[in-house]
Amino acid sequence: MKEKIGFIGLGNMGLPMAKNLIKAGYTLQVYNRTASKADELEQTAVTVCNSPEEAATDVQYVVTMLSEDGILEEAVSGEKGLLKSLKQGAVHISMSTISPETSVKLNALHQQNGSHYLTAPVFGRPEAAAAQKLWICTSGNSSIKEAAKPILESMGQGVVDFGEEPGNANVVKIAGNFMIMASMEMMAEAFTLGEKNGIDPKKMADFFGSTLFNAPIYQNYGKLIANKQYEPVGFKAKLGFKDARLAFTLAQKSETPMPMAAIIHNRLLTAIAKGQGDKDWVEGFGHGVTDDAGL
**Which residues of this protein are in contact with ligand NAD, per CB under 6 A?**
9-14, 32-34, 65-68, 71, 96-97, 122, 125-126, 234-236, 239
CA 285 to chain centre: 18
Nearer to ligand NAD, 52 or 140 (CB): 52
Q: Which of 12, 13, 14 is nearest to 31 (CA)?
A: 14
Nearer to ligand NAD, 38 or 148 (CB): 38
Q: How near is the Cβ of 88 to ligand NAD at its closest, in Å?
A: 26
State the catalytic residue, choosing from 19, 105, 145, 173: 173
Separation CA 18–CA 25 (nearest Å): 11
Residue 121 buriedness (CB in 10 A; 0-12 / 13-18 / 19+): buried
The residue number with the shortest CB distance to ligand NAD is 11
Beta bridge partners of 46: 28
Nearer to ligand NAD, 34 or 197 (CB): 34
Nearer to ligand NAD, 54 or 68 (CB): 68
Q: How near is the Cβ of 112 to ligand NAD at its closest, in Å?
A: 23
19 is catalytic: no
Helix, strand or coil for residue 159?
Answer: strand
Q: How near is the Cβ of 134 to ligand NAD at its closest, in Å?
A: 8
Burial 51-82 (b: 16+ CB within 10 A, else e): bbbbbbbebbbbbbbbbbbebbbebbbeebbb
Q: How near is the Cβ of 225 to ligand NAD at its closest, in Å?
A: 15
Could you give the residue numbers annotated as active site?
A: 173
